[in-house]
Structures are given as C-alpha cells and as structure tokens.
Structure 1
Amino acid sequence: MRFDVQVETRPRAGIADPEGSTIERSLPALGFEGIQDVRVGKSFRFHVEADDEAAAHALVEDVCARFLTNPVIEDSSITVTEASTV
C-alpha cells in the first residue's frame, strides 16, 4: 500500500531559535502586533510503500530518528495517511 507522510519538526522548548526570534522582532515593524513565541521548524512530505499504516508509521519513525530529525534539540510529529487513488 502507498501512504502519504508528513513530518513536522520544531525546536524543543528551551532551545534557542534565532530564526524565530528574528521573525518575531521584525513583525511589529511590518504592522503585525501581538504575535509572540515564534518558532521555526521544517516540514517533510513524501510517500512510502508499506504493508499497512502501522508498518508505514514505524518506518517513518526510524527514518526520523536516524536521518531527518535531531531528537536532542527537536520535537517532531508524524502524520501517515493512506494515499488517495485519484
């Protein structure tokens, strides 16, 4: 079966996020007030072939742990859905 995968990463709480801080400081100059705690992350989207959703999720967890994310400084969330046939 083919599955659509989305992995979202973001810095863990307490980890410096200089890109997020720069964006947050710039927003008032652009007329955007009241926005706080900006954090910048990454999004990965891809397809995976697996026997079922549980196997696909396990495969993606392994890919994240070994390659896509740094679990020491990042939190991540994984979404796996069966690919549409359209």
Structure 2
Amino acid sequence: MKQRSTPSSTLSKKARDRIRSRLAKQANGRLQLIVRDDGPGIATASAVASGSLGMSIMQAFARQLGGSLEMQASAGTTLMVEFPGD
C-alpha cells in the first residue's frame, strides 16, 4: 500500500517535497501504516465515490489483510491503514 500511495503524491503538480510514512504496532497489537504528503490534498469524498483505481486497489488490499483504510485531506493527504499484526 505504501508503494501504491507514494506515486500519487509524487505525480501531483502541486506537491511539495515531503512524503512521510510510518509503520507502527499499536497497543492493541494491530499494525498501522500512515502515509502523508504535503501537497494540496484531494477531495476525499470524490476520490472514494469516483471509484478511482488506486483507491479501489488500496481498499481491496486493506480488506484482504482484515483491516481498514481511511483517508483525510487537509494540508496534504493522509492515508491510514490498520490491520492485524499477527
């Protein structure tokens, strides 16, 4: 998922130069992957509603892992994926 989310950030004409990612084990034993860029952000509702290929792929990956995908857009775009750590 990190590989899939990164190209979208780097191809954005207005993206600046910072893409950060973090993978951490939560207290509940689940893993959380966060990928964040400092671009202008995207309209989350339209990205999900449009059925974009990238979002569809990442949502399918999250489901296959028994997890969930959440996207936030505010001063950049943040993708958060949480899935079992076992």
> Normalization by structure 1: what TM-score?
0.31
Structure with greater Cα Rg: 1
> Normalization by structure 2: what TM-score?
0.31
